[in-house]
Amino acid sequence: MKIADRVLSVRHALVVLASTALCATALAQQPQQQPQQPAQRIAPPSSVNIPPMPQLSAAELAADRLDFRQIVQQAKAKVFPAVIYIKCVREDNQGGERKSAEVTGSGVIVTPEGQALTNWHVIDKAESVRVLLSDGRGFKAKILGSDKDTDLALIQIETTADTGSLPYASLGDSSKLTEGDFVMAMGAPFGLNRSVSIGIVSSIDRYLEEISEYSLWIQTDAAINPGNSGGPLVSTAGEVIGINARGMGAAPGMAFAIPSETVKVIAGQLKEFGKVNWSWTGLQLQPLRDFNRDIYFEGTDGVIVAETDPESPARQAGIQPRDRILKVNGKPLTGLTTESLPAVRRELGLLAKREPATLDIVRDGKPMSVQITPREKGDVEGKELALKRWDLTVKVINQFDNPDLYFHKQKGVFVFATKYPGNASTAGLRSLDIITRIDGKDVETLADVEAAHKAALANLDSKPRIVFTVLRSGLSRQVVVDMQRDYSKE
């Protein structure tokens, strides 16, 4: 009874958490792609900037008020035609089999040539993308580039000779926003395209743990619902000052958009390289002041090294936990609070690859200088593969996406999902099992697993049962997958 209690309690806890977790706002028929977003108790930032109040005369104030409806209408008119409704068919391996699922989201055209911004999570793994303009024209689109860390994507609307001109909106300057500014969210909540909602900026520099790697968020109380993902957050000046990305399931009135200043940094790279080619140093960072945890380090400049990733440039450079980095290549770095960390990471992420950079650090009160050679960060998520007869999907271990699996095996393939009912789940394979051997052969890559599946299918009659060896919580286990049953047979 006691243990059962515990399981229930923890499960209950997880359910509660899941429901309050930040959820990506793409409207998907399948469960949300974002696997685990943290429930974050959001506390006030420890540094508060109070902008000077605009000094308006009574007459100006009155005019401002009288104009408001007009301002909103004008602003809307500038951006609304450029808002697009996006429907994608995407590959989905979450059910333990490869399935195509339709996802809907929003976007905004930002160039006259038909380049549109949306979220990474709207078009991730898309096999085809269709867009609908607010004037009723529909097009196909292709993906120019996407970045998981900032949740941004750039797509190209595929026009034809007789398309005519396309409406587009211009990007504003999100750094000029202050809390309390009116903003509008546009898009297709729950697939209801051509929707506008209005609210104010609740916070201009929201830090959300685990999903603020390189960028802070604009928090707004404008209604943002599933389907709004990728749509613009529009200022009263009629400029796109953010891309709406996340809502908070249980808390309407708290939604998050990617600031246009981040968009500007990323979009160029997406256009040029198809991805953001971050540099990787392997530095885990802590701010100087952490109000939440009541931890304060000495000094007001620099940033604290929390830990270095195994086999990372930082570790190779001999950087120690608790070193305070003051400058990189002579440029000051300041991670005063958690809110300032994304900018620091961005700075480090934009260092030249395979070229030594100089870090000025303080260790035990002594200033010193260290050379670090960043590498390409590479993929931040492993590729997936469905193995039909095993009713199993597998994924490549990625150190950023699956650090706990990476801890046990740096190069390998793990069970992404098992189909239920299915041969793998019947055999007792579980998601997050690292597959080390199949039928006596070591496996390390998707190709290995695919070859093993193929071989197993070829020998189905003579050898219908295959032994898998997996690593689960660091311990090896064997399971026997019986392939005789074909769960896809109708």
Partner 1 sequence: MNAFRSLASPLVLVLASTCAFGLQAGATKADPKADAKADSKSEAAKLTAPDIAAIADKLAPGLVRVEYTPQFDSKGEAPPSDRYSFSRARPGSDIPGLDATENWDGLIKEERPGESGGYLISPTTVFTADPRLHPRFIKSIVVRRGDATATAKPKAYLRDHSGWFLELDKPLAGATPLQFDPLKSGPFFSLVYTESGGQWFAAIAGQESTVVVTDDHRKLVQSTPGSLIVTRTGEPVTITPGRSRTADDAWKLAPDAMPALSEADMTKALAALEQSTKDSLLRVQLNFRSPRSGSEMGGGRRGRFGYDGGEDGPALTEWNGLGVVTGDKTVLVLADLKPKVTGRLERVRVFKADGTPVTATFSGSLKDWGAMLVTAESSVGTPVNLSTKSITDHRDVLLLKAELSIRGETRTAYFSRERIEAFSKRYRGDLYPIASTGQTGGDEGGRSVIFDLDGTLVSLPMSRREKVTTRERWGEEGLLQVPAAILQSALTDRAKSIDTENRPLTEAEENRLAWLGVEMQAMDPELARAQNIVEPTRNGEVGGIVTFVYESSPASQAGIKVGDVLLRLHIEGQPKPLDVNVDENPMGNMMDQFWAMIDRVPEEYLDRLPKPWGNVENTLARALTDVGFGTPFTADLLRDGKTMTVDFKVAQGPAHYDSAARFKSADAVGLSVRDLTYEVRRYFQVKPEEPGVIIAKVERGSRAAVAGLKPYEIIRSINDQPIKNVQDFEEALKQGGELRLAVKRMTQGRTVKLKVDAADGKPADKGSGKSEPGAGVLQDNNAPAPATSAP
CB-based contact 305:320 (threshold 8 Å): yes
Q: Residue 385 or 427: which CB sits closer to partner 1?
A: 427
How near is the Cβ of 271 to partner 1 at its closest, in Å?
34
How near is the Cβ of 17 to partner 1 at its closest, in Å?
5
Question: How far is Cα 124 from Cα 72, in angstroms, rounded to an integer?
Answer: 33
Q: Residue 29 or 459: which CB sits closer to partner 1?
A: 459
Among the listed residues 92, 149, 151, 205, the single catalytic one is 151
Which residues make up the interface to partner 1 (CB under 8 A)? Answer: 1-4, 6-7, 9-11, 13-14, 16-17, 21, 36, 38-39, 209, 284, 286, 292-297, 304, 306-307, 309-310, 321-322, 364, 403-404, 406-407, 427, 430-433, 465, 467, 472-480, 482
How near is the Cβ of 372 to partner 1 at its closest, in Å?
18
How near is the Cβ of 297 to partner 1 at its closest, in Å?
8
Question: How far is Cα 417 from Cα 310, in angstroms, rounded to an integer?
Answer: 27
Q: Residue 119 or 338: which CB sits closer to partner 1?
A: 338
Q: Residue 14 or 352: which CB sits closer to partner 1?
A: 14
How near is the Cβ of 231 to partner 1 at its closest, in Å?
28
Three-state SS for the chain is CHHHHHHHHHHHHHHHHHHHCEEECCEECCCCCCCCCCCCCCCCCCCCCCCCCCCCCHHHHHHHHHHHHHHHHHHHHHHHHHEEEEEEEEEECCCCCCEEEEEEEEEEECCCCCEEEECHHHHCCEEEEEEEECCCCEEEEEEEEEECCCCEEEEEEECCCCCCCCCCCCECCHHHCCCCCEEEEEECHHHCCCEEEEEEEEEEEECCCCCCCCCCEEEECCCCCCCCCCCEEEECCCCEEEEEEEEECCCCCCEEEEEHHHHHHHHHHHHHHCCCCCEECCEEEECCEECCCCEECCCCCEEEEEEECCCCHHHHCCCCCCCEEEEECCEECECCCHHHHHHHHHHHHCCCCCCCEEEEEEECCEEEEEEECCEECCCCCCCEEEEHHHCEEEEECCCCCCHHHHHHCCCCEEEEEECCCCHHHHHCCCCCCEEEEECCEECCCHHHHHHHHHHHHHCCCCCCEEEEEEEECCEEEEEEEECCCCCCCC
How near is the Cβ of 239 to partner 1 at its closest, in Å?
37
How near is the Cβ of 482 to partner 1 at its closest, in Å?
7
Q: Residue 201 or 434: which CB sits closer to partner 1?
A: 434
211 vs 34, 38, 39, 199, 407, CA distance in Å? 11, 8, 11, 23, 21
How near is the Cβ of 321 to partner 1 at its closest, in Å?
6
Among the listed residues 146, 195, 202, 229, the single catalytic one is 229
Q: Residue 293 or 354: which CB sits closer to partner 1?
A: 293
Distance from the Cα of residue 248 to its chain's centroid = 15
Q: Residue 350 or 432: which CB sits closer to partner 1?
A: 432
Q: Residue 201 or 326: which CB sits closer to partner 1?
A: 326
Catalytic-residue membership of 379? no
How near is the Cβ of 262 to partner 1 at its closest, in Å?
25
Among the listed residues 121, 146, 174, 197, the single catalytic one is 121
Q: Residue 104 or 338: which CB sits closer to partner 1?
A: 338
Catalytic-residue membership of 121? yes
Active site residues: 121, 151, 229
